[in-house]
Amino acid sequence: EKNQQSTINNHRLPIHTVGIIGAGTMGSGIAQVAATAGCLVKLFDTNQAALDKAKVALEKVLNRLIEKGRIDAHEKIRIQGNISYVNALQTLADADLTIEAIVENLDIKKKVFQELESYVSDTAIIASNTSSLSIASIAASLQRPERCIGIHFFNPAPLMKLVEVIPAVQTSQTVLDTCVAEITRWKKVVAVAKDTPGFIVNRVARPFYGEALRIYEEGIADFATIDWAMKTIGGFRMGPFELMDFIGNDVNYTVTETVFNAFYQDPRYKPSFTQQRYSQAGYLGRKSGRGYYDYKNEEVDNAF
């Protein structure tokens, strides 16, 4: 009955086929979310190994969901059946909405957007999952900039409820309305934000990490004490150092640096040398087995 419902909904809604560019951490998670909501998803990556990895990872995640009793075997087959893994961008020609989640580099994103626009219909929406680049500058690379918008998921995309939707100055109201309705249908909570560095969450979060690092650098408390205090007294689910280890110190440092520079070096967002050195040393966090804490004896579990 559930499946029938989503099929019916798909015919009513303007978004039927969803293209995803980049099958990494974010792209593969967003693909799962869209496929679960009943969209036909085309997940594209230039790297075949990334596509293979995304497919295996989804199988694992869905098996874990079955074990936990959250979905059944039919649901697993339905979700998997909705995703195709493709290695030619042209395959995304019939996508009503494409969400790009490739490397955080403006020139590379612009090139991919221009190529995609040459294949898709005039009404197709082209979105970026960028954390820190301006949507206006990405939109400016298109013939029809009004079709461009930011749709910013959080990691891990299937688990995190919030999605920021960011219209650029060029974005049309129809494109914004369509995206808000569609992402809401994907069972996410949408916050519409203006196109400014870090949008809402990544801006509010800068002083959270930055001040924690400064407290450590000033010798006031160690990582574990700061994390403990923020969890016990602050009511946070994770302390700042646990969270930075989860996100990755390289990723977190780069976002801070970008927000800092984008705000004309406002000292509120100043990056930390401690984090820079940890990042340079390869102490990236959970993904490298060591960050502010040691994870070598812990199995990294990305299934939820």
Task: Identify whether the C-beta of residue 68 lies closer than 8 Å to the C-beta of residue 95.
Answer: no
Count of CA atoms in the C-beta half-sphere (13 A) of 186: 31
Instruction: Considering the complex, state which of residue 38 and residue 164 has its C-beta at the smaller distance from ligand NAI.
Output: 164
Tell whether residue 251 is a contact of ligand NAI (CB under 6 A).
Answer: yes
From 151, 212, 247, 284, residue interacting with ligand NAI (rule: CB under 6 A): 247
Closest distance between ligand NAI and the C-beta of residue 213, in Å? 19
The minimum distance between CB 69 and ligand NAI, in angstroms, equals 28
Beta bridge partners of 191: 164
Q: Which residues have a Cβ under 8 Å from the Cβ of 30 and sit 6 or more positions away?
A: 20, 99, 101, 129, 153, 157
Site residues for ligand NAI, window 40-59 (CB under 6 A)?
45-47, 50
Whose Cβ is closer to ligand NAI: residue 18's or residue 38's?
A: 18
Decide: is 210 part of the binding site for ligand NAI (CB under 6 A). Answer: no
Task: Find the binder of ligand NAI among 10, 80, 155, 288 (CB under 6 A).
Answer: 155
Q: Which is nearer to ligand NAI, 162 or 169 (by Cβ)?
A: 162
Closer by beta carbon to ligand NAI, 38 or else 198? 198
CB of 110 to ligand NAI, least distance (A): 11
Where on the chain is the footprint of ligand NAI (CB under 6 A)? 21-27, 45-47, 50, 101-104, 108, 112, 129-131, 153-155, 247, 251
